[in-house]
Amino acid sequence: MRKIRRFQLVHIVDSLVKNGSKVTQKAIAEKLGVTQGWVSQFTNSFKGNWIGFRKILVSLLKDLDRSTNIWDCTEINAFI
């Protein structure tokens, strides 16, 4: 179940980035169907905090060549 949530979370962040929307815990929680607190706890489980998690994930997604399938990317799959 946790792996599915990771996949969904990455997909939601990617969608928000592509749409030019602000990546917030609230936006992710609404799309994932969980509480903002759950998103906060989930991101903190990566030995960091929300700001660091968002910065790393958004940077990774923006830097990837958009002509490739991000789900085949080694870095994304290592996270998931």
- Delimit the domains of the chain by residue range: 2-79
In the chain, the N- to C-terminal Cα span, in Å, equals: 12
CA atoms within 13 A on the CB side of 78: 6
pLDDT score for 70: 53
Determine the average pLDDT of the residues in 29-38.
92
- Two structure tokens written together for 28: 């992710």
User: Measured between alpha carbons, how far is 9 from 65 in angstroms, rounded to an integer?
Assistant: 20
Average pLDDT, the chain: 78
Residue with tokens 């990455």: 10
Chain segment 44-66, per-residue pLDDT in tens: 876 678 888 888 888 777 776 55
pLDDT score for 25: 93
